[in-house]
Amino acid sequence: MSEAEQVPASAPEAAASAVLDALNATDSNGTEALNATAKFVATPEGTALAYGSLVFMALLPIFFGALRSVTCSKSKELGENDYDSGFRNAADMPETITSRDAARFPIIASCTLFGLYLFFKVFSQEYINLLLSVYFFVLGVLALSHTMSPLMSRIFPASFPNKQYQLLFTQGSGESKEEIVNYEFDTKNLVCLLISSVVGVWYLLKKHWIANNLFGLAFALNGVELLHLNNVSTGCILLGGLFIYDVFWVFGTNVMVTVAKSFEAPIKLVFPQDLLEKGLEASNFAMLGLGDIVIPGIFIALLLRFDVSLNKNSRTYFYSSFLAYIFGLGLTIFVMHTFKHAQPALLYLVPACVGFPVIIALFKGELTEMFRYEESSEETKEEATESEKKDQ
């Protein structure tokens, strides 16, 4: 969800959940929508600059994350243990979302959101946000480092002394020895980690909106790159469920707004509407939740991989869904300013991102092929193995 409001530069909002939900549980559905805490009349130029910048920033992780998801998918097909594929660590492997995961997700997200609401009612907001700041500092440094790594590989000259390292923790000895942590990295990764740590300290100390956006973009890009829907039907289930979730928690209760106001973490993109007047110290932000980027983004990335699977040297479905996202986001901003009320962005993004490609597939006669497209996952592999055993 998107909204314009006045907030202190030191108070980015947040939400958190475990593993798969880390990017999507509370933020994916627009927890960033807040009501204005003070009246601020932005100039037309300031408003246009702020929302234009938000739209541009939202498109970056979707476009580049989708491209990187194709590389992820191809590398995964080469083999999870193929170090030449670029997946030297389990953290770099894409996480496949199945239809079962998609159906559960809105329920889990709702429970998480309401649990956080109760948590803030009972415990001190100051201590909770202190823990969140440290938690997102670690996540942000790792996410930004992973995002920068391919770029740094191109920047560094071939003569750069790039040494290989391995961090290995094991439990037990002999035949019972078990790996707890096995992480491989090189000198270039250490440089990325150092730069990311500087940004992390800047965010931790100042909560500056630029540092917030750097972490936010890294989270969004990693989400689009590494969260893979296994088929279009799963994408429709996930987007449909979160469509209902978003509308209910934004229009039906004050839970989402209360939680959003209580959090401090970089799970939104912000841009000041008073930048032209106050410069980098501006504090009246327009904002967009990362979930409004990541959730449609993983569906758009799936359509790009479907385009690639057709082997037609065409990216019809990717570009149509990408343009649909721009249309949906623009419509969200238009409605918000027309009615002067916070809007759940997925209310407009989901129909656009799903509807446009489906209509095109219908006209091209590829609708059946689109819905038959399947990406393998551990769950589907297990089901296939069980099916083979039964047949035997």
- Kindly write down the DSSP assignment for every residue of 199-264, as one continuous string: HHHHHHHH--HHHHHHHHHHHHHHHHHHEEESBHHHHHHHHHHHHHHHHIIIII-SHHHHHHHH--
State how many domains the chain has.
Answer: 1
Classify residue 85: in a domain, yes or no. yes
79 pLDDT band, cuts 50/70/90, is low
What does the pLDDT average to over 59-69? 95
- 3-state helix/strand/coil string of 280-295: HHCCEEEEEECHHHHH
Res 254: pLDDT: 84
Please, what sign has the CA dihedral across residues 117, 336, 27, 143? negative
pLDDT at 325 > cutoff 70: yes
In contact, 359 and 43? CB cutoff 8 Å? no
Name the band, by pLDDT with cuts 50, 70 and 90, for residue 40: low
Marked catalytic residue, from 92, 101, 292, 307? 292
Which residues pair with residue 170 across a beta bridge? Answer: 179
- Best-predicted range by mean pLDDT (8-12, 53-57, 68-72, 94-98): 53-57
- In a domain, residue 18? The reply is no
Q: Please tell me which of 79-83, 193-197, 283-287 the model is most confident about, judged by mean pLDDT.
A: 193-197
For the segment 128-135, the average pLDDT, to the nearest whole number, is 86
pLDDT above 90 covers what percent of the chain? Answer: 46
| Residue 26 domain-assigned (yes or no) | no
127 in any annotated domain: yes
More reliable by pLDDT, 166 or 196? 196
Residues 281-296 have pLDDT tens digits of: 888 888 888 999 999 9
Any domain includes 80? yes
Return d(Cα 223, Cα 203) in angstroms, integer.
21
| Inside any domain, residue 269 | yes
Is 357 in contact with 78 (CB distance < 8 Å)? no
Which own/partner pairs from 107-111 qualify as long-range (CB within 8 Å, at least 24 positions apart)? 108/17, 108/21, 108/25, 109/17, 109/21, 109/24, 109/25, 109/26, 109/28, 109/29, 109/242, 109/245, 110/245, 110/249
Most confident segment among 8-17, 110-119, 173-182, 191-200: 191-200
- Side-chain half-sphere exposure of 82, counting CA atoms within 13 A: 11
Q: Which residues contact 210 (CB under 8 A, 6 or more apart)?
A: 280
In the chain, the percentage of residues whose pLDDT exceeds 70 is 81
Sign of CA dihedral 231, 66, 245, 138: positive
Q: Residue 10's pLDDT is what? A: 40
Name residues whose C-beta falls within 8 Å of residue 339's C-beta, 6 or more positions apart in sequence: none
Question: Of the residues 27, 92, 246, 307, which is catalytic?
Answer: 246
Domain region containing 265: 40-146+187-372
Tally of CB atoms within 10 A around 381: 10
Q: What is the mean pLDDT of the chain?
A: 81
User: Which residue type does 282 have?
Assistant: A
Mean predicted confidence (pLDDT) in 7-26: 38
Mean pLDDT of 291-306: 95
List the single range of 12-16, 200-204, 292-296, 311-315 with lowest mean pLDDT: 12-16
The pLDDT of residue 41 is 74
Q: Which residues partner with 289 through β-bridges? A: 268
For residue 39, what pLDDT band results from cuts at 50, 70 and 90? low
Is 65 among the domain residues?
A: yes
Judge whether 9 lies within some domain.
Answer: no
- Write the single-letter amino acid at 296: P
Checking if the pLDDT of 29 tops 90, the result is no
Strand partners, 186: 164
pLDDT tens digit string along 43-58? 889 999 999 999 999 9
Our answer to whether residue 292 is catalytic in this structure is yes
**Whole-model pTM?**
0.82
Task: Decide if 246 is catalytic.
Answer: yes
